[in-house]
Structure formats: structure tokens, C-alpha cells
Copies of this chain bind each other. A is one copy, B any other.
């Protein structure tokens, strides 16, 4: 399978800052990746530092002064990724509570809402179905500081909120879980997307309680504990304004079907 993804960003920078982007497809063994990444500030090219994080996550970082920043990324992904070996450390980390997946606050709720002693597979399916049933997808309904607890209470959110609630409930049920930002062919309206990965039967499986895009054609960008690890843009200085963002993601051929229930891994 060939997948083509892209993003274009127009960003106004109001003062000197350091920026970190996580928009490039993850570095994984297996697929051939042809890509182009260009940063231009007021027409001058900027060469970022590339920082490699866990699970192939790539950060592109640079300092920038006031001005207009153009970001253009495009990539073609040929073939499938070989699953990364699962480390003992991963399994420890992805059981821990995190900023936006406060599983420690949800221990009591999860214990009464979901059956105890279920297999990881059954818990993951039950949590994904429950989150999909309990939350309404409402654009603009959540704040950047909202976590899984806020989402549980409000009953509404966007993809990151659906995912945080899944991840937090899974960890409360002792299933390692993490968040992945992805390019999502078929998503409408097209945007960056976020889904959950749960550790089931020895592998990481993809769960998307929003059901907004088929899982088998998703393209991994960044992988981490929650949204704090996968922000497409982290700004550490003067204020910045994303004036325009256009995301693209298509598969070569027909979009795959997804019944939402079969086990699927990102690849």
C-alpha cells in the first residue's frame, strides 16, 4: 500500500522563540519513506535540528525570530512497518498516569464501570465501545488543559479527548495504553488525528472510539503518554498564531473498510 500525507502551515511569530514540530512520519523499520520538509521564515529557509524520540517519533526544532513562517511537509509511505519490539520499560511507562490521562483519579470509577478480571482484549474493546457511546464529538468543545476527567464529566470532545479517556480508563484497568498522532486517510474534515494503542495479546493494537477513519491506513507520526508528548507544535517563547493549516492524507486505491472491532495494528 502507498499512502501520501502532507501538511502546510502558515504561522505568525510575534517574538523570538524556539519551536518544536512533530509533523513528520515516524521513523520505523519496514516502509520506504520519501519525504520533503521545508521551513521558511519570511522566505529564508531554516534548517531544523531533528531529535529522535521513542517509537520513531521525530521532533524538528529551531529558534526563530518574529515573522511569517511557512511549513510544508509531504511524504509518501510505501509498504508496512515492522512492529517495534515491546520493551519492559514501555509496559511500565504506559501504565502510569499522565498529564491528560489521569488514570490514578479514575481507579474507583473504572473499577465499578467495567468488569474486573477481563482479558486485555476484552477490556480494550469494552472501553473503546463505552467511550464511543458516552461521548459526543463536538468540535471546539474542549480546552487545551482538559484531560480525561474533564472529558468524562462533560461527555463531549474531539479526537484527543476520546483518546485520553480511553487511555486513562485502560491504564486504570491495568492495560498499558498510549496515544498516537496520525495522518488519517478518509478523515472528514481532514485534520491531524489521534488514536489509542492498547497492549493486547503481546502487541500494540489501535483503538479509535471516534470511528472517524479506518485504522488500517493510518500513518504514525508521534507516540507517547498523551497529547503532551505528541503536540504538532510546541512553542517556547513569543506567541505564535497558526493562521492556516491544511492537512492531507490519501491511500493509493480504495480506502480500506473498518468494522471497528477486528484487531488492527498501525503499520
Interface residues of A (CB under 8 A from B): 20, 49, 51-53, 59, 61, 87-89, 92-93, 95-99, 102, 104-109, 111-112, 133-134, 136, 143-145, 149, 152-156, 174, 228-229, 234, 236-237
Contact = CB atoms under 8 A, between A and B. Distances in A.
Given A112-B134, A143-B143, A89 B153 contact: no
A155 B111 contact: yes
Given A99-B98, A145-B104, A92 B20 contact: yes
Given A109-B152, A109-B153, A237-B174, A61 B88 contact: yes
B97 A228 contact: yes
Contact of A92 (B53, B112, B156): B53
A89 B51 contact: yes
A142 B65 CA distance: 30
Contact of A95 (B92, B145, B236): B236
Given A88-B61, A228-B96, A108 B234 contact: no
Given A98-B228, A174-B237, A155 B52 contact: no
A187 to B, nearest CB: 24
A96 B145 CA distance: 12
Contacts of A52: 89
Contacts of A111: 155
Given A97-B228, A99-B102, A59 B112 contact: no
Contact of A109 (B155, B174, B236): B155
Given A53-B89, A109-B154, A111-B155, 8 more contacts: A51-B88, A53-B93, A61-B92, A92-B234, A95-B234, A96-B234, A108-B156, A109-B153
Contacts of A95: 234, 236
Nearest to A52: B89
Interface centre among A153, A174, A234 (most CB of B within 10 A): A153
Nearest to A154: B108
With a 10 A CB-CB cut-off, give which of A59, A93, A106, A144 has the most chain B CB atoms: A93
A75 B96 CA distance: 27
Contacts of A102: 99, 145
A89 B59 contact: yes
A228 B99 CA distance: 10
A107 B88 CA distance: 35
Contact of A59 (B20, B88, B107, B237): B88
A96 B229 contact: yes
Given A97-B228, A143-B143, A145-B105, A92 B153 contact: no
